[in-house]
């Protein structure tokens, strides 16, 4: 059998009768039209993205304000601009993808795990370029504190983003959870860059960057759990 013959099988199936009985169509029409009212469409994508970014920024800055902007003061002006603009661009891409997952039939430019890999690579490159202190003082103890602080800020960020987009329909629950988690993770990294004054390269490269994949994995896990218990099927 050649490709042409394979295509012929598809063609035969496509031509197979698939009409729906008129009675069924009428029943569906009657049911839907009985409760038909004008609906308020979702806000424009740009507005949703701005809302999502505002929430993430507010959580990152709020967290840093509560704990102190020690990291921000320890960084030079160029480092501040490079780090914050990199995080801003990544957060914008994540917010766009996140909004797309809540609106069925949206266009996607990157898969959630592709985005996690991309953001880790971008952050690792930027941090490796900016930080050259290779000391490892209190590597584990300080690292675990930073990782948990980052994830602690990622959780409310992802939850509020999901709440903000609640009028949408999440058709890919695991992927949607992963991308919301990654966005929350970027919020956590931003808070850490504003707060953490420990500028040792190994610390930042491992413990700060790890917030993104850990949060994305947690988001995917929550999504998997929700889909397993048919949480979103009630919509």
Partner 1 sequence: MQLHTSIDRSQTDAIGSTPAAVNAEALMSGYQLGDPVAATALIHQLSPLLRRYFLSEPSSRAHAEDLLQETWLRIHRVRHTYRPGEPVLPWLYAIARHVRIDHYRRATRTTAREKKLTDVTRIDESASVEQAPWDELESLLAPLPASQREVLQMLKVSGMSLEEVARATSSTVGSVKQRVHRAYKKLRESIRAPGQGERPNGVVR
Question: What are the residues binding partner 1 (CB under 8 A)?
Answer: 1, 3, 6-7, 9-20, 24-25, 27-29, 31-33, 35-42, 45, 100-101, 103-111, 167-169, 171-172, 175, 227-228, 230, 233, 235
Residues contacting 134, CB < 8 A, separation 6+: 200, 201, 202
Report the C-alpha gap between 231 and 20 in whole angstroms: 31
Distances (CA, A) of 164 to 43, 48, 75: 11, 8, 33
27 token code pair: 């029943």
Least separation, in Å, of the C-beta of 73 and partner 1? 41
By beta-carbon proximity to partner 1, the closer residue of 29 and 152 is 29
Question: Cβ closer to partner 1: 13 or 77?
Answer: 13
Nearest to 112 by CA among 104, 126, 101, 102: 101
Of 100 and 181, nearer to partner 1 (C-beta) is 100
φ and ψ at 200, to 5 degrees?
-75, 130
Closer residue to partner 1 in complex, CB, 12/132: 12
Closest separation between CB of residue 161 and partner 1, Å? 17
CB of 159 to partner 1, least distance (A): 21
């Amino acid at each position: 059998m050649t490709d042409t013959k394979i295509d012929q099988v598809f063609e035969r199936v496509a031509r197979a009768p698939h009409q729906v009985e008129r009675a069924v169509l009428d029943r569906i029409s009657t049911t839907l039209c009985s409760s038909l009212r004008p609906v308020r469409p979702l806000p424009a994508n740009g507005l949703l993205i701005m809302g999502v970014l505002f929430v993430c920024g507010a959580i990152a800055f709020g967290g840093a304000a509560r704990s102190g902007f020690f990291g921000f003061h320890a960084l030079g002006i160029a480092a501040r601009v490079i780090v914050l603009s990199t995080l801003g661009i990544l957060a914008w891409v994540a917010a766009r993808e996140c909004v797309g997952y809540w609106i069925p039939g949206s266009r996607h430019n990157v898969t959630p795990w592709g985005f996690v890999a991309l953001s880790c690579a971008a952050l690792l490159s930027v941090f490796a370029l900016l930080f050259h202190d290779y000391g490892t003082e209190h590597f584990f103890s300080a690292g675990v504190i930073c990782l948990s602080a980052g994830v602690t800020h990622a959780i409310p960020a992802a939850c509020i983003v999901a709440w903000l987009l609640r009028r949408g329909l999440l058709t890919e629950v695991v992927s949607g959870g992963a991308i919301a988690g990654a966005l929350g993770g970027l919020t956590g990294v931003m808070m850490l860059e504003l707060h953490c004054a420990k500028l040792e390269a190994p610390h930042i490269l491992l413990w700060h960057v790890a917030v993104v994949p850990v949060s994305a994995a947690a988001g995917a896990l929550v999504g998997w759990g929700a889909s397993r218990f048919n949480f979103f099927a009630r919509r």
